[in-house]
Amino acid sequence: MKYILPFILTIVVMISLSCSSGSNEQNKVDELIEEMTLDEKIGQLNQLMNFVDTIPVDPYFYNLLKEGKVGSVLNGYSPELIKEMQRISVEESRLGIPLLVGRDVIHGYRTIFPVNIGLAATFNPELVKECTAIAAKEARSEGINWTFAPMMDISRDPRWGRMVESCGEDPYLTEEMTKAYIQGFQGDDLSNTKNIAATAKHYVGYGAAIGGRDYNTTLIPEAELRNVYLRPFKVAVEENVASVMSGFNELNGIPTTGNQYTIKEILKGEWDFQGFVVSDWASIRNLTTHGYAKDSIDATLKAFTAGVDMDMSGMHYLDNLKILVENGSIDESLIDDAVRRILSIKCKLGLFENPYGNNENELLTEQALDIAKKAVIQSTVLLQNKNQVLPLSKDVGKVAVIGPLADAPHEQMGTWVFDGKSENSITPLNALKNYLGEEKISYAPGLKISRTRNREGFPEAIQAARNSDAVILFMGDESILTGEAHSRAELTLPGYQNQLIEEISKLNKPTVLVMMTGVIHMIEPYLEKVDALLYGWHPGTMGGPGYVDLLFGIESPSGKLPITFPRTEGQIPIYYNHNNTGHPADDESWVRMYDIPVKAWQTSLGNTNHYLDYGFEPLFEFGFGLSYADFKYSDIELSKKVISMNDSLVITAKIKNTGGCQAEDVAQLYIRDLVGRIVRPVKELKRFKRIKLNPGEEKIIEFILKPKDLEFHDGEKWIIEPGEFQVWIGNSSKASLMSGFELK
């Protein structure tokens, strides 16, 4: 024993010095690998799930840690237990290799920000970067050094419950948000103890599940895979993301956790990804469920040879990899490569120097709460404002606050929150009381929870509304109704919320509906029953104060929809950047069902691709969002009408605030490639920019495009194809200010 301790110290000091200096890092990691037994190498590929939150550590887990058979742990523990598990790994295992401590830090740690689809609605990557940097600091202060975020699955089907974690339907917006998330989490230097390693997930195509049913089959042609679903992951690799997580889904017949083409050939080969790949939760085991592997050993072989470096929670690698090496199915050099990738990230994180975190109190700081409130304000989307009911005056009189989400501190945090606490949430009710005074508030929830299916609370709510000068309804979903495994076929408000809105609308009071949810609801029926509608998502810790600033005009709404809102579930999937058809619909060609004469001659009714009942347009388009001001776009100009492959194109337009208050708008640039080797989308977002203007103020917006921005994959290769292009600038995907240019 007296010889072992000096050996451990020598190895740890050697690695620490090499990582801190940055010199010969890979050589030093290789030297450590040479000292490792096969069992210890395989241990680095094992991520252990621990639901036991006790000290001393459970004997089973303790022995695995001491024997060097755990490279990472995830979830289900306290900061004290994290420290103890790290201590065992560093001080009691033979080589003293620290742990990667993973956690689902998705949209905040203790300070909870709006859910991810809400953060995407800000169209503000810098703000998202600030949010994730705060989440990283908070998590690292409690020993967590790795997050399973961001999720960058393109989501075109709102029935999919995990849309809430996404950035919506557009690949460019998702790319920009992906950069922000990774830069926020990882910073400029991973070894800084305020940063954590990020994970790009779910690789790849998980969001394209057929029917929006979670975990379902995905069928994506090569061109679409490249032009839409892979794009954010390539950006993540370019941002040096530490890890990539394989998905649960089957992609074109091959489960993504066993897909050599996507992982080995594209990610690690074509893109030269230097981080490591972790499976999703027990997704190696799922290979047998899919019918792609016959047993645990076969699943291990297929996942590992596909390029999955770490097994999350499944114990397959720990149980089977040694057998596969010994029988010659896997060469030990492949094990070495996976270990090298993981140790390199541990080295970059500075874990050999400081495995325990920064030990600073970084939770719920004033700065964090200010940014969380700003995120609520910029993520909330104003969808309707009849007769300028909003903003309300502080002298409005008595206000009825009604709805199951008005005072639900847990629910407003949203899905995938492990470390946020209800007592830190400021609810809309409490924020309104603080702003107006309790004497002006008449509160009656009407429904106990969002799923309540009775009218017991209706009389009190109706009376509160009747005796008030204005009504604010806070409707939506409990947090558990969104997220993983929470897909829904019907996207209407649960419980008797519809009935409550109906009863309140009969009173003809000025009524504002605030939607608090992580999904898209079919809100068209509510537009007739309320004067104003704010889509507030699940807002997180500072939901109440953020809403108050919007409701009373301290701030003007500026959120924009990151996903198209259908009029009914039957229109799904519907997204702005679709391809054209040979029979595109327009207002003139739409033949409405009830306009068809009785016993009409059999006809194709206009020969266009529309629904007889709901036409072809969504309720609200991608990029839409109202303001308390009005914005006018004019005078679009292009620096050139013809550009070469070496040129840049400068596109400008004027934007003027023609309203009566200071406000921000999101200027959006779209293009269309009119003729392509394969059919190109009718519009594609290429740039966006937040602009703040005083009443009457006018500014010139400038965007720069390069030929690289016009590149697409034709199913075989990436090409930049000469031709004619249209370009639009406006504040939604229905932008009408248009010009054009030619690429030669």
| Per-residue confidence (pLDDT) for residue 1, from 0 to 100 | 42
| Per-residue confidence (pLDDT) for residue 502, from 0 to 100 | 98
Same domain assignment for residues 387 and 296: no
Same domain assignment for residues 447 and 514: yes
Same domain assignment for residues 340 and 379: no
User: Residues 573-601: what's their mean pLDDT?
Assistant: 89
11 pLDDT above the threshold of 90: no
62 pLDDT above the threshold of 70: yes
| Rounded Cα gap, residues 476 and 128, in angstroms | 24
17 pLDDT above the threshold of 70: no
Structure tokens at 370: 């200010």
Residues in a beta bridge with 514: 474, 534
Residue 118 domain-assigned (yes or no): yes
The residue written with tokens 């629904």 in the block is 611
| Per-residue confidence (pLDDT) for residue 713, from 0 to 100 | 98
| Rounded Cα gap, residues 42 and 321, in angstroms | 7
Cβ atoms 485, 212 nearer than 8 A: no
Nearest to 131 by CA among 144, 118, 141, 146: 118
717 pLDDT above the threshold of 50: yes
User: Residues 27-40: what's their mean pLDDT?
Assistant: 95
pLDDT tens per residue, range 507-536:
999 999 999 999 999 999 999 999 999 999
User: Residues 291-295: what's their mean pLDDT?
Assistant: 98
The CATH number covering residue 645 comes to 2.60.40.10
| Per-residue confidence (pLDDT) for residue 27, from 0 to 100 | 85
User: Residues 448-461: what's their mean pLDDT?
Assistant: 98
User: Residues 187-212: what's their mean pLDDT?
Assistant: 97
User: Residues 322-351: what's their mean pLDDT?
Assistant: 98
| Rounded Cα gap, residues 627 and 639, in angstroms | 31
The CATH number covering residue 378 comes to 3.40.50.1700
Q: Last residue of a domain, which of 509, 529, 551?
A: 551
Same domain assignment for residues 543 and 655: no
Nearest to 120 by CA among 168, 154, 155: 168
Same domain assignment for residues 280 and 408: no
| Per-residue confidence (pLDDT) for residue 22, from 0 to 100 | 54
| Per-residue confidence (pLDDT) for residue 3, from 0 to 100 | 41
Same domain assignment for residues 648 and 536: no
| Per-residue confidence (pLDDT) for residue 51, from 0 to 100 | 63
Residue percentage of the chain with pLDDT more than 90:
89
| Per-residue confidence (pLDDT) for residue 646, from 0 to 100 | 94
Residue 365 domain-assigned (yes or no): no
21 pLDDT above the threshold of 60: no
Residue 133 domain-assigned (yes or no): yes
28 pLDDT above the threshold of 90: no
Residue 572 domain-assigned (yes or no): no
Q: Name the band, by pLDDT with cuts 50, 70 and 90, for residue 358.
A: confident
| Rounded Cα gap, residues 223 and 220, in angstroms | 8
Report the interhelical angle of 4-21 vs 25-35 (nearest 10°).
Answer: 160
Segments forming the whole domain that contains residue 635? 631-743
Residue 504 domain-assigned (yes or no): yes
pLDDT tens per residue, range 604-613:
766 788 898 9
Active site residue 280: yes
Sign of CA dihedral 482, 487, 491, 495: negative
Residue 615 domain-assigned (yes or no): no
pLDDT tens per residue, range 216-251:
999 999 999 999 999 999 999 999 999 999 999 999
Q: Kindly name the residue from 104, 153, 170, 280 that is annotated as catalytic.
A: 280
Total number of residues shown for the chain: 744
First to last CA, the chain: 74
6 pLDDT above the threshold of 80: no
Cis-peptide into 150, omega within 30 deg: yes
Q: Name the band, by pLDDT with cuts 50, 70 and 90, for residue 279.
A: very high
737 pLDDT above the threshold of 60: yes
Same domain assignment for residues 443 and 327: no
| Rounded Cα gap, residues 145 and 87, in angstroms | 15
Q: Last residue of a domain, which of 529, 551, 573?
A: 551
Same domain assignment for residues 105 and 197: yes
Q: Last residue of a domain, which of 316, 348, 380?
A: 348
| Per-residue confidence (pLDDT) for residue 7, from 0 to 100 | 47
149 pLDDT above the threshold of 80: yes
pLDDT tens per residue, range 101-131:
999 999 999 999 999 999 999 999 999 999 9
Residue 285 domain-assigned (yes or no): yes
Number of domains in the chain: 3
Same domain assignment for residues 262 and 341: yes
23 pLDDT above the threshold of 80: no
Residue 8 domain-assigned (yes or no): yes
pTM strictly above 0.75:
yes
Can you list the positions of beta strands (E) in 94-211?
100-103, 146-147, 199-203
H runs (alpha helix) in 141-170:
none
Same domain assignment for residues 330 and 388: no
User: Residues 24-42: what's their mean pLDDT?
Assistant: 92
pLDDT tens per residue, range 360-377:
778 999 999 999 999 999
Same domain assignment for residues 309 and 395: no
| Residue 437, φ and ψ in degrees, nearest 5 | 100, 140
| Per-residue confidence (pLDDT) for residue 53, from 0 to 100 | 76
pLDDT tens per residue, range 375-432:
999 999 999 999 999 999 999 999 999 999 999 999 999 999 999 999 999 999 999 9
pLDDT tens per residue, range 170-185:
999 999 999 999 999 9
SS (H, E, C) 604-672: CCCCCCCECCCECCCCECCCCCECCCCEEEEEEEECCCEECCCCCEEEEEEEEECCCCCEEEEEEEEEE
| Rounded Cα gap, residues 574 and 151, in angstroms | 21
The CATH number covering residue 176 comes to 3.20.20.300
Structure tokens at 324: 């596969």
Average pLDDT over the chain, rounded to whole?
95
Same domain assignment for residues 132 and 8: yes
Tell me how far the alpha carbon of residue 435 is from its chain's centroid: 32
